[in-house]
């Protein structure tokens, strides 16, 4: 079975967009005098999608002269995915969405999520709860939602082809491991609108079913295919080139009988090619188009503003390209030194309301001090990731680049996923910035762009709605504040290894 990557990407984008609109409305309906700083979450470790272990350190009040602390460990059973106030269930700090916390930070980059969970605990509630396309694909496959006659079982082996080595870390998260029966029950419940009761039983490691069993980067896949060609496994043509042999193999797969090969593809109405106007901001579309897609969706859903799908949005580079410098030998003359263009620069986009009631991405001339109703940003590269996290931690005024944004798409790799560490690059040869940009451009142009079709739902939703309780159970997950690993709580202190792994 082959699953088209744009199919789970469409679901991930739609869930992310509806979650953002939900949180935006909640934020705007709150009293401005209320402190909007997200509460500190307890450190936690996901044992599975339905079981979380919380670690709470308390000071020992009995021994006031000592600095020793007591560690309280609590294991909580809960429904999978995301719980919000409307669910009417007991809330836990890790499983409850901070419904009014803005800006929303994209969570499809596992490198960024790992950094936030380990070093920026205050930003954990800001992370989007929507699963990445890789995790959504695992949900579709392992729950049997793609075929109602197929039941979820351990015999299915899901191999994901990804551009990044960090996706291997994401696949190993406990939140993406299910109990066998729980996985089957929630998959059926999503299709049949049934109610599931959470089991209180202990979870054994051998009973867990992973949504993703193995992750191969595109570079690793090329190595496997090249080795197969050299061994004569893929082609009978001894003089055929490696590329030709690999293409012949995939052409044979396309011609295979439907009983032997199942291909899950996206609906054509949700896809569009990358046109020439979009090429100037080509990097925006190579990492899932989260900011571009959600901005269009939110403009329509929140303000009934339909932005043309055939026209690119006016994303503007907000990084500083000119820096004034002064030297003693120049006689006090200030020279402007032009820096080399930064491929991973911060970009911004805003939506404004005009006096006539209409909306556009152009700031109204009759109200130069008007505040945007929507402000989005993108930040690619670790340097810009640090800029965003520092900006959020300072809680500064609106003059800051990111503190007043509503949504920020963040990718740890410069230029985003097309330039991921696992991608097929220059074969060990060092690239110039221009060569890297051209390679990224070629990669992005091979993938169709997922577009927002005014709320039209992709397949597998049935009668359910995006971000409904059923959708939050299987298409959303929880993020955690990773507990500090200390000798007093580590393996050297006698604690089992599985109790300290995250």
Q: Reduced to 3 states, what is the DSSP secondary structure of residue 215?
A: strand
CA distances from 381 to 112, 346, 386, 419 (A): 10, 9, 9, 10
Largest CA distance in the chain: 81
Residue-wise pLDDT for 304-332, tens only, equals 999 988 888 999 887 543 444 444 444 44
Instruction: Classify 434 in phi/psi space as left (phi over 0), alpha (psi -120 to 50) or beta.
Output: alpha
To the nearest 10°, the Cα dihedral for 229, 231, 237, 239? 80
Q: ∠388-377-168 over CA atoms, to 5°?
A: 65
CB 264 within 8 A of CB 140: yes
- The rounded distance, in Å, linking the Cα atoms of 142 and 207 is 14
pLDDT at 295: 96
Q: Which residue has the tokens 């055939």?
A: 310
pLDDT at 205: 47
List, in sequence order, the alpha helices (H) in 157-289: 167-171, 180-192, 218-230, 242-254
pLDDT at 327: 44
Cα 123 from chain centroid (whole Å)? 15
Cite the beta strand spans of 273-425 per DSSP E.
Answer: 316-317, 322-326, 334-338, 347-353, 359-360, 374-380, 407-411
The DSSP output letter for 175 is G
For the beta carbon of residue 13, count every other beta carbon within 10 angstroms: 28
- What does DSSP say about strands 104-105 and 51-59: parallel, antiparallel, or unpaired? unpaired
pLDDT at 355: 87
- The rounded distance, in Å, linking the Cα atoms of 66 and 387 is 39
The DSSP output letter for 237 is -
Q: Which residue has the tokens 């705007």?
A: 28
Residues of the chain falling short of pLDDT 50: 33-36, 90, 92-97, 195, 198, 205, 238-239, 257, 320-332, 340-341, 343-344, 396-399, 487-488, 492, 501-502
- What does DSSP say about strands 104-105 and 407-411: parallel, antiparallel, or unpaired? parallel
List, in sequence order, the alpha helices (H) in 365-432: 382-394
- The rounded distance, in Å, linking the Cα atoms of 53 and 485 is 15
- The rounded distance, in Å, linking the Cα atoms of 97 and 93 is 8
- The rounded distance, in Å, linking the Cα atoms of 84 and 104 is 16
Take residue 324 and report the two structure tokens written for it: 């004034």
pLDDT at 442: 85
Residue-wise pLDDT for 28-53, tens only, equals 886 554 444 555 678 999 999 989 99
Report the 3 state secondary structure along 475-502: HECCCCECCCCCCCCCHHHCCCHHHCCC
């Amino acid at each position: 079975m082959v699953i088209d990557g744009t199919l789970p990407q469409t679901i991930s984008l739609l869930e992310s967009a509806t979650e953002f609109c939900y949180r935006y409305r909640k934020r705007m309906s709150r009293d401005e005098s209320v402190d909007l700083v997200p509460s500190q979450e307890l450190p936690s470790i996901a044992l599975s999608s339905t079981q979380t272990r919380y670690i709470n350190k308390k000071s020992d009040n009995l021994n006031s002269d000592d600095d020793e602390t007591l560690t309280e460990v609590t294991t909580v059973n809960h429904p999978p995915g995301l719980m919000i106030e409307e669910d009417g269930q007991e809330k836990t700090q890790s499983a409850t969405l901070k419904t009014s916390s803005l800006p929303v930070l994209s969570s499809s980059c596992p490198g960024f999520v790992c950094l936030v969970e380990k070093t920026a605990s205050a930003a954990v509630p800001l992370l989007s709860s929507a699963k990445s396309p890789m995790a959504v694909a695992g949900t579709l496959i392992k729950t049997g939602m793609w075929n109602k006659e197929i039941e979820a079982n351990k015999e299915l082996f899901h191999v994901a082809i990804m551009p990044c080595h960090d996706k291997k870390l994401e696949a190993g998260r406990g939140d993406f491991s299910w109990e066998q029966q729980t996985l089957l029950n929630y998959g059926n419940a999503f299709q049949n609108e049934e109610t599931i009761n959470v089991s209180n039983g202990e979870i054994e490691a051998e009973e867990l079913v992973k949504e993703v069993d193995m992750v191969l980067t595109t570079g690793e896949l090329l190595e496997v295919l090249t080795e197969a060609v050299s061994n004569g496994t893929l082609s009978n043509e001894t003089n055929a080139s490696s590329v030709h042999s690999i293409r012949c193999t995939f052409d044979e797969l396309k011609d295979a009988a439907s009983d032997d090969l199942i291909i899950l593809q996206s609906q054509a109405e949700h896809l569009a090619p990358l046109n020439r106007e979009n090429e100037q901001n080509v990097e925006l579309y190579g990492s899932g188009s989260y900011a571009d897609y959600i901005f269009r969706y939110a403009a329509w859903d929140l303000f009934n503003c339909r932005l043309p799908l055939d026209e690119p949005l006016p994303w503007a580079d907000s990084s500083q390209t000119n820096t004034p410098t002064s030297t003693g030998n120049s006689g006090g003359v200030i020279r402007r030194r032009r820096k080399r263009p930064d491929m991973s620069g911060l970009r911004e986009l805003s939506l404004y309301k005009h006096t006539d009631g209409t909306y556009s991405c152009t700031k109204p001339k009759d109200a130069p001090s008007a505040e945007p109703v929507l402000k989005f940003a993108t930040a690619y590269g670790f340097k810009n990731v640090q800029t965003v996290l520092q900006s959020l931690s300072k809680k500064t005024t609106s003059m800051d680049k990111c503190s007043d944004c509503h949504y920020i798409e963040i990718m740890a790799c410069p230029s985003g996923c097309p330039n991921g560490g696992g991608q097929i690059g220059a074969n060990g040869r060092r690239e110039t910035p221009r060569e890297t940009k051209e390679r990224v451009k070629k990669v992005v142009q091979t993938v169709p762009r997922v577009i927002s079709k005014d709320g039209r739902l992709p397949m597998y939703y049935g009668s359910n709605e995006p971000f409904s309780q059923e959708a939050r159970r299987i298409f959303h997950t929880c993020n955690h504040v990773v507990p500090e690993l200390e000798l007093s709580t580590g393996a050297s202190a006698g604690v089992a290894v599985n109790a300290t792994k995250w």
